[in-house]
Copies of this chain bind each other. A is one copy, B any other.
Amino acid sequence: MVVYVSFFHEASEDIIQEMASSLMTTKLFRKDTRHLVSILDLPGSVLFIPQDSLVGEPVPKRRMQYKAGCELWWGSQLFSNLVCACRERMSGSVRSTQAGVRVEQGIYGQKQEIVLNSMEPMTVLLEF
């Protein structure tokens, strides 16, 4: 599961546990025929990618404005906390630990290369 994350100005620590819980336990994946399971139940690995551009909104003259995001130092801290919270939940899952799945992360504020290979891309948008 690849998670693109951005935080708005008003984002606070309070939301981190709810985000982690939702990401790790929402039944997003189809196992077998119609049986839906969470990433923890699958089990599968998770890659977090900081993606501040998600807060962008169109403004006149065909431009985008990216002012709604929180400051870099704060976004960086919230991002780390979210990754840690998800990693803890994965460590607490016997099934995930036995399968050797992991929570990994991109580096906040840096340009990085990504290579994705998906058999059946599925994208959902979660707002908190």
Contact = CB atoms under 8 A, between A and B. Distances in A.
Interface of A: 4, 22, 25-28, 36, 38, 49, 51, 53-54, 56, 58, 62-64, 111-126
A45 B38 CA distance: 35
A54 B119 contact: no
B25 A62 contact: yes
Given A26-B64, A63-B27, A125 B54 contact: yes
Contact of A124 (B27, B53, B62, B116): B53
State the 6 A-B residue pairs at the shortest beta-carbon distance, nearest first: A116-B116, A111-B120, A53-B122, A56-B124, A115-B117, A114-B118
Contacts of A51: 121-123
